[in-house]
Amino acid sequence: MSKQKKAEKRIKIQTIIKAFFILAIGYIVAIGTVLYFSPETENRIVRVTASIIPYPSAVSNSLFITTERLQDQLAGAKRFYENQDFSQIGMRVDFGTEDGKKRLLIKEKNILNKLIDDAIIEKEAKKRGIIISQELIDQEVDRKMKEYGTGDYLKNNLEKLYGWSIDDFKKNIVKPDLYQEKVFADMRKNDVSLEEARKKINQAKDDISGGMSFSDTAKKYSQGESAKNGGALGWFSANQMLPEVARVIFNLEKNNQSEIIESAIGFHIILVEDKKNEDGESMIKISQIFVPTKTFAQWLLEVKKDYRIFIPIGKFSWNNKTKEVEFRDKSLREYEKDLLENPINDPSIIF
């Protein structure tokens, strides 16, 4: 083969490679455009491409959340609501209507916020030297399987309700929950304000022991609206209360007072004023002395101030003031606000 023919062949091959490269880039951009401006599409080619190419749904200098992860969790949530029979409690879910599509967008936005929170929590955990091993995740899953009776029961329900495997369950639920639990414990261990709150609730307990009435002690130490009423809160069922509080006080007799109870939001001393059974449900009337501590949500909001988040999806943006994902469209923001104030018996908004 002559030198001229070799050169022509080389140029031809280079031209083909360049053309293929340009077509590939064009294809990737086209699919990305669909994902970012019409992410609700059910097109199989788009979904397969997104599962191969990690298009970002949220990025920062240290975080990267893919559209595949977002859409997988959205599909699981959609499947969950559509597989439930809410008619017995007078509720329904229909994502096929115009309103239903908007409510699904709200669910998508909330999932993206949760994915960002989970990524930040994991990042902050690793800064503190907290690493959740695969062994610990497996142990937690085994514990949950025992709670449900059998592993098959959990597997079948995950598949039926969400379309998830056990590995999906580990990635989407177990691992993020473990990181939050460990970070929260570490945060409280190093929180100076926690000891100040503990000291205050102990002083309240000592004053009661010294003869001060519960009402006067609540007015002196308690925080919140009930303080001015001597801590009076009214009637509650167990499911209306924090689990760690309900476990203690529903075992107390009328006119008995709890020891100091530590919850995720602070310290409590509870006085059980009365008990009754209403429509088959146990109810108690209580007064409370409450000293708040920094909650995990407050800590997370402070931490998020150090992260600059960019949302490439066209319908969403990052609000630097609230540190949350929000709709770019003002009408959708107003629709969401109205819906949260009047959820119209839609469990996808309430739950």
Per residue in 275-291, pLDDT (tens digit) is: 998 888 889 999 999 99
Q: Which phi-psi region, left, alpha or beta, contains residue 331 (left: φ > 0; alpha: ψ -120 to 50)?
A: alpha
Q: Is the dihedral of CA 270, 275, 279, 281 positive or negative?
A: positive
95 pLDDT above the threshold of 90: no
pTM: 0.74
Ranges 6-15, 129-138, 254-263: which has the least confidence: 6-15
29 pLDDT above the threshold of 50: no
Residues 118 and 174: their CA atoms lie apart, in Å, by 11
Which residues partner with 283 through β-bridges?
237, 276
| CA distances (Å), origin 270, targets 222, 234, 242 | 11, 12, 13
**Mean pLDDT calculated for residue range 82-106:** 78
Q: Which two tokens stand for residue 17?
A: 């490679």
Which residues partner with 274 through β-bridges?
285
Angle of CA points 148, 151, 152, to nearest 5°: 105
**Mean pLDDT calculated for residue range 302-315:** 89
- In the prediction, which pLDDT does 150 show? 65
| pLDDT tens digits, one per residue of 249-261 | 999 999 999 999 9
Per the prediction, the chain carries an average pLDDT of 82
Of residues 8 and 185, the one with the higher pLDDT is 185
301 pLDDT above the threshold of 90: yes
Angle of CA points 39, 27, 22, to nearest 5°: 150
Q: Count CB-CB contacts under 10 A for residue 34.
A: 16
Share of the chain above pLDDT 70, in %: 78
Asked whether the beta carbons of 242 and 263 are under 8 A apart, the reply is yes
- In the prediction, which pLDDT does 27 show? 41
31 pLDDT above the threshold of 50: no
